[in-house]
Each structure stands twice: as C-alpha cells, then as structure tokens.
Homo-oligomer: A and B are copies of this chain.
Amino acid sequence: MIANVTTAEDRLAQLGIRLPEAPTPFGAYVPAVLSGNLLFLSGMLATSGRTVTTVGVVGKDLDLTEARGAAYTAALNALAVARKQLGTLNRISHVVRIGVHVAATPEFTEHPKVADAASELFRDVFGDEMVSSRLVLGVASIPFGSPVELEIIFEVQP
C-alpha cells in the first residue's frame, strides 16, 4: 500500500466521526439496492433511530443553520447504510449523484447552502476526486416532517 493513499474509513477516523446505527425502513422497502456497480440508497432523513431529530419547513420553522444540521445528520445516516451494505466505505469508488430535497417555502432560495452540509461531509470523507453530481430541490413536505431527504447513488468496486 502506498503511504499517501488515504481511504474513506481512514479519513472518517481522522475526522473523529462515529457513524450512527444504520436507519431501518419505515415501510415495505430496503435501505439500499446494489445493481451492477451502482448502490441506490433509500431516501435518508434527519433521523436517529426511529425518531426525526429536526422537524419543520425551512424558511418558516427552521433557519439555514438548523437545515444544514438536518442535512448533515441525513448524510451520516447514508454513510451508515452504505457501510452496513458493503462492509466498508472503502468499496465506494465514486459518489455518483446526491439529490438534496429540502422541505422549503416557495420563497426560499438558499437550498445550495443546505445541500453543502451533506456535500462537504462526503468530500471530506471520500476526497476531492470523488465529488458528486448534485440535484437540489425545495419540496412541499417530507416523511415525518424531516426538513431534508437525501437521494444517493454510490459507485461500488466490483
């Protein structure tokens, strides 16, 4: 192994991040499906166990800082699901797509700043070479009142 190659698991440890328990489904679906080299994750919410950690609409009930916190929590859940499915985050060869859905008022315009809380975590863990494509939208509502839902596709080594 070459000394200057750092893995995702190494970086996570260096950042001092401990992943939560991977969230379990709230209905008739599974947390993730691997098809070919693509791992499709189910929608990741701002939850801890069975509880939503932040509830509300951004731009009305919640400000930018609270929304970013919710996006970060959902992103940690996504990493937990990916590690549980794959055994290790080191099998991820690219973050292909992140969709960041923000429950927001029609007037809200700063969705990218909310989304960056998830994107920056992924960049810190997977490195600059793996930065994803991204789709950011303001939606009317999200299950259980979560202010953020993440849609994620990872590319996985065969």
Contact = CB atoms under 8 A, between A and B. Distances in A.
A53 interface: no
Given A38-B35, A135-B42, A141-B138, A29 B109 contact: no
How would you classify the secondary structure of chain A's contact residues: helix, strand, loop or mixed?
mixed
A112 B26 contact: yes
Contacts of A115: 27, 29
B139 A43 contact: no
A96 interface: yes
Interface residues of A, number: 60
Nearest to A113: B27
Contacts of A25: 134
Contacts of A96: 33, 35, 40
Contacts of A123: 28
A19 interface: no
A104 B140 contact: yes
B137 A149 contact: yes
A22 interface: no
21 contacts: A27-B113, A27-B119, A27-B134, A29-B98, A29-B132, A29-B133, A32-B133, A35-B37, A35-B96, A36-B37, A40-B133, A42-B134, A43-B136, A103-B106, A105-B140, A106-B140, A111-B142, A135-B149, A135-B151, A137-B141, A139-B140
